[in-house]
Amino acid sequence: MLPNLGKTDLVELLRKMLLVRRWEERLIRLAEEGPSFGHYHVYVGQETIGIPALAALRPTDLIFPTHRNHGYLLGRGADPGRLLAEILGKETGLNKGKAGTLHASAPELGIPHTSAIVGGIVPIAAGAALAAQVKGSDQVSVALFGDGATEEGVTFEALNIASLWKVPVIFLCENNTEEALGAAAGGYPKSVTAANDLGNIARSVGVPAVVVDGTDSGAVFTAMKVAAERARASGGPTFVEARVVRWPGSNPLWPELIAGETELRYAWEPEAAPELLIRWYRNQDGLLRYLREMLSASLLEKDEAKEIDSEIIQHVEAAVRFARESAYPPPESAYLDVFARPSQ
Ligand SMILES: Cc1ncc(C[n+]2csc(CCOP(=O)(O)OP(=O)(O)O)c2C)c(N)n1
Ligand SMILES: [Mg+2]
């Protein structure tokens, strides 16, 4: 089901999801080519969670991502060239090359921080929601985390206090534990939690929990709208669990284009995809599902989709040129933008 939005907005969502996909596929190629920019994670395969979730919120709402943050930064409008420059450690980067991928932020876009510490972002988001409540603003804060963060004590504490104080926060848990290729995929560690239903962790402290299919953009959009309205009406937090099958390229410890870049025709011709990923593209890739739904609702023609895609690919190439041509920061800038004790 598509989100309950008009055609222009729905096409815009497709553009954003395609930007995330193409930009990250290019990022993986850049990592392969080197020089290394260190460890990183991609959002491929989860675009139909983040992009519709952002569309359900107001631009003034605060977003607190975890290590799969690129989708949210690009979705909120961060410049693709500056985000890439950030990851490459360049001075034109979003954070002057000092944050890299794991801590990239865009406070001007309502993304004050990324924490790559599993569970680390959850109390920060709840704290920002408390600040909004104290200030009497109508801002909602969103904590983004994977199923892995539900194992962390701090997540439970944040759920508990947010429930007691009814702070306007949404806990959006992206559960990608279901392995697409099973053990053959390279042994990415599975999460460890004794809860067989993650929502029960939230329910145990009085936070209502809903589960949505994370490839169903309309279901994500509606769940987030309902949660945001509830938060704004002083109803307190909601736990939204969006389930997806992890993109097989994220199963190895480092992301890999194990079957090349996505081709749009896999949406209507999945058997054309490499054998390894036919099932994933046919049933588990939310982006291709979204495209199929746009085509079957006659909101878009295949040729229009291809045209949008090639515009985005060119846009991404321009971002790569910008990031590559940007300079590294001068060594003395290491002392700028940091907190330090005054010298004695
Ligand atoms: C506190 C902490 N422990 C371990 C790690 C190493 N680590 C990075 S990502 C990750 C898996 C997180 O799983 P999940 O939260 O479900 O996110 P996913 O990668 O599946 O999207 C781990 C254990 C970390 N970053 N922080
Ligand atoms: Mg996970």
For residue 176 and ligand 1, the question of a CB distance below 6 A is answered with: yes
- pLDDT for 240: 98
CA pair distance 169, 182, nearest whole angstrom: 34
- pLDDT for 197: 86
pLDDT at 43 over 50: yes
pLDDT at 27 over 60: yes
Encoding tokens for residue 5? 């939005």
- Residue having the nearest C-alpha atom to atom 21 of ligand 1: 146
Distance between Cα 244 and ligand 2 center (Å)? 9
- The fraction of the chain above a pLDDT of 90, given in percent, is 88
For residue 25 and ligand 1, the question of a CB distance below 6 A is answered with: no
pLDDT at 180 over 80: no
pLDDT at 192 over 70: no
pLDDT range class, residue 193, cuts 50, 70, 90: confident
H helix intervals, 56-106: 70-75, 80-87
- pLDDT for 184: 39
> Could you report the per-residue pLDDT of 133-168, keeping only the tens digit for each?
999 999 999 999 999 999 999 999 999 999 999 999
Residue 1 placed within a domain: no
Q: Which atom belonging to ligand 1 lies closest to the Cα atom of 147? A: 16
User: Average pLDDT for residues 81-107, to the nearest whole number?
Assistant: 97
For residue 191 and ligand 1, the question of a CB distance below 6 A is answered with: yes
Residue 343 placed within a domain: no
> Could you report the per-residue pLDDT of 295-340, keeping only the tens digit for each?
999 999 999 999 999 999 999 999 999 999 999 999 989 888 887 6
For residue 116 and ligand 1, the question of a CB distance below 6 A is answered with: yes
User: Average pLDDT for residues 106-111, to the nearest whole number?
Assistant: 98
Residue 314 placed within a domain: yes
CATH number, position 280: 3.40.50.970
Distance between Cα 47 and ligand 1 center (Å)? 19
DSSP 284: I
pTM above 0.85, yes or no: yes
pLDDT at 190 over 70: no
Residue-range definition of the domain harbouring residue 155: 7-335
Of residues 197 and 107, more confidence is placed in 107
- pLDDT for 179: 53
Which of 47, 69, 118, 244 maximizes ligand 1 atoms within 8 Å of its Cβ, making it the mutation to test the pocket?
Answer: 118
Question: What stretch of H or E contains 9?
Answer: helix 7-33
CA pair distance 159, 261, nearest whole angstrom: 39
pLDDT at 182 over 60: no
Question: What stretch of H or E contains 238?
Answer: strand 238-245
Q: Is 68 left (phi over 0), alpha (psi -120 to 50) or beta?
A: beta
CA pair distance 289, 281, nearest whole angstrom: 8
pLDDT range class, residue 121, cuts 50, 70, 90: very high
CA pair distance 125, 302, nearest whole angstrom: 40
Whole-number average pLDDT of the chain: 94
Total domain count for the chain?
1
Ligand nearest to the CA of 178: 2
- pLDDT for 316: 98
pLDDT at 10 over 80: yes
User: Average pLDDT for residues 235-257, to the nearest whole number?
Assistant: 94
pLDDT range class, residue 188, cuts 50, 70, 90: very low
pLDDT at 214 over 90: yes
- Residue having the nearest C-alpha atom to atom 19 of ligand 1: 146
Residue 344 placed within a domain: no
pLDDT at 52 over 90: yes
For residue 56 and ligand 1, the question of a CB distance below 6 A is answered with: no
For residue 148 and ligand 1, the question of a CB distance below 6 A is answered with: yes
> Could you report the per-residue pLDDT of 55-74, keeping only the tens digit for each?
999 999 999 999 999 999 99
Encoding tokens for residue 302? 């295949």
CB–CB of 264/25 below 8 Å?
A: no
CA pair distance 68, 89, nearest whole angstrom: 18
CA pair distance 74, 82, nearest whole angstrom: 10
Distance between Cα 147 and ligand 2 center (Å)? 5
Residue 168 placed within a domain: yes
Residue 318 placed within a domain: yes
